[in-house]
Structure 1
Amino acid sequence: MGSTKRFDGRVIAVTGAARGIGLAIARQLAEAGARVAIGDLDAGQAAAAAATLPGTAAGFALDVTVESSFTSFLDAVEAKWGPVDVLVNNAGVMWVGRFDEETEQATRRQLEVNLHGVIRGVRLAAPRMRTRGRGHIVTVASAASKLAPPGEATYAATKHGVFGYLSAVREELRGSGVKLSVVMPTVVDTPLAAGTSTGSVDMLTPEDVASAVVGAIAKPRFEVTVPGYVGPLARAVSVLPDALRVLVYRQMVPNQVVEANQDSRASYEKDALTTNNNNNSGATS
């Protein structure tokens, strides 16, 4: 179901939005009256996705791993509709397996898309917003920003890094009128999560995450976990003695080394991690 919140006329840019979570976010924002810019590595797919949305939407080429591409994306959106009111950093990739079996290429790809892509987006968009005295950057991260599933070591490192980076920049932007939010879902039903275990929680849909993003834009707050109880639960568990904390985490957090179906992930990982494709969007724990 679409959101009942309204963003009439607001310019909102979403990265990695030609499919998956990004497209679900774009759709709910368009239904709420926003002018939605879909950024995707494949400009044709971005345009095709935009054509499926109600209201005002357009597709733009975007490679979040290239600064000139990200700058051109923001410039193009601004030239079409005016300043970007909200940037949603959504593009992400994930490799799953034993830490010592991860290739250098897979490691670099996750760092460049998941972490540096977010840093790049904030560094390029926030100063423009600060000059105007208003703006909002929402980053779709993961529950792996707070937890660390075995089998997702580098992915978790990138999401921990995103949370730390945004926490620091938030303080630098305090009083500027620019707000930051980080949305942290558990496992979402997208190609990124193919073959992985959800552990003790139910599989989320892209629409679940989109609703959380829309809610964070409507009522800005820094930390948003999906489901909502995950954040308070993680904080509560973190204060337990180490031995007890480890036991509880083993019940909460799936061990993807043991539980993931690697055959189900082969196609996704070949596409997302061995080619120049950063927009297999989604977030998982």
Structure 2
Amino acid sequence: MTRTHTGRVVAVTGGAAGIGLEIARQFAEAGARVCLGDLSGNAARDAAARLPGTVHGCELDVTDERSFHDFLAVAEAILGPVDVLVNNAGVMWVGAFDAEPDSATARMLAVNLHGVIRGVRLAAPTMRTRGRGHIVTIASIASKLSPAGEATYAATKHGVLGYLTAVREELRGSGVQLTAIMPGVVDTELAAGTSTGAAQLLQPRDVAAAVLDAVARPRFEVTLPAHLGPLVGLAGALPQWLRDIVLRRTVPNQVAAVSNSSRRAAYEKRLVDGEPDS
């Protein structure tokens, strides 16, 4: 069943820039009322002020239980019961596994995995009580593939897909929908300097459009580009030696991609230090 977005209340994490900002923009343009949260409250409010329609921005730290709870409470108090939560906030450190700072590992686990778990745990019970709601999580094709140089990042995204798969079964028949959006490399600061491999470089608008479409026509797994899903499934059916050959020719080696490059230095320093993105 196709659903309209007019009047829908949408909460977006990591909404001040990149994919999150574009998701907020497209929902607002479609008539939804949007609350976008970001680690920098000022950035969230500035972003909200630039968007059309009814958009509110506020500070949100997805690694903090009280902050996430308050974000959802503020969204409901100002805009009404949250119909859609978009778990978008995410961070990524890229490089050799044995060069990864422990603080980067901890940050990816806290934001990418525990942040999603926290969002689902806080939002889904209320939605279940109302008998409706949709939680969309921006995962990654790294939920099913594991590029060299993205070991911990891929581990968090594999964890996200596993968690959502289990919770989806628990929510079956409740009226609450779950969706995992799994794009390839997207043209954002998070992916700066990395390689797309055999896939095309995506834009934030591509991911945002997929989110709105999945809310309009609910389904659990969405891969971008769409053909990646069947290809990954086909590769998984191959014997290991042949699968290795196929994946090495199509999945980028990000250790090699970022070697001797400084393009990610500023972003990854903020990640390690736990600072808000500018």
* Aligned-partner residue type, residue 26 of structure 2: Q
1:44 paired residue among 42, 45, 61: 42
- 2:263 is paired with a residue whose SS is helix
Q: How does 1:84-163 map to 2 (within 5 A)?
A: 84-163=82-161
Q: CA deviation at 1:275?
A: 2.3
Q: CA–CA distance in 1 between the matches of 2:272 and 2:30?
A: 34
1:93–1:273 CA contact under 8 A, matched in 2: no
* Aligned-partner residue type, residue 175 of structure 2: G
Q: Structure with the greater relative contact order (CA < 8 A, sep ≥ 6): 1 or 2?
A: 1
**How big is each residue's C-alpha offset from its partner over 1:192-249, in whole Å with a ceiling of 9 and x where there is no partner?**
0011011111111000111111111110100000100001110011000000000000
Partner of 1:267: 266
2:185–2:201 CA contact under 8 A, matched in 1: yes
Deviates more, 1:133-142 or 1:53-62: 53-62
* Aligned-partner residue type, residue 9 of structure 1: G
Q: TM-score, normalised by structure 1?
A: 0.94
Give the superposed CA RMSD: 1.1
Q: CA–CA distance in 2 between the matches of 1:276 and 1:45?
A: 13
Partner of 1:211: 209
1:7–1:34 CA contact under 8 A, matched in 2: yes
Q: CA–CA distance in 2 between the matches of 1:250 and 1:272?
A: 28
- 1:179 is paired with a residue whose SS is strand
1:179–1:220 CA contact under 8 A, matched in 2: yes
Deviates more, 1:255-264 or 1:30-39: 255-264
Q: CA deviation at 1:260?
A: 2.1
Q: CA–CA distance in 1 between the matches of 2:97 and 2:207?
A: 28
1:25 paired residue among 15, 23, 26: 23
Partner of 1:10: 8
Q: CA deviation at 1:273?
A: 2.4
* Aligned-partner residue type, residue 165 of structure 1: Y
Partner of 1:283: none
**How big is each residue's C-alpha offset from its partner over 1:157-195, in whole Å with a ceiling of 9 and x where there is no partner?**
000000000000000000111000000000000000011
1:238 paired residue among 233, 236, 239: 236
Deviates more, 1:116-125 or 1:45-54: 45-54
Q: CA–CA distance in 2 between the matches of 1:244 and 1:168?
A: 30
1:11–1:86 CA contact under 8 A, matched in 2: yes
Q: CA–CA distance in 1 between the matches of 2:4 and 2:45?
A: 24
- 1:38 is paired with a residue whose SS is strand
Q: CA–CA distance in 2 between the matches of 1:257 and 1:42?
A: 30
Q: CA–CA distance in 1 between the matches of 2:122 and 2:5?
A: 23
* Aligned-partner residue type, residue 100 of structure 2: E
Residue-pair matches, total: 275
Q: TM-score, normalised by structure 2?
A: 0.97
Gaps of 5+ in 2: none
Any runs of at least 4 consecutive aligned residues in structure 1 with deviations exceeding 4 A, and if so which?
none
Deviates more, 1:120-129 or 1:252-261: 252-261
Aligned identity (percent) is: 65
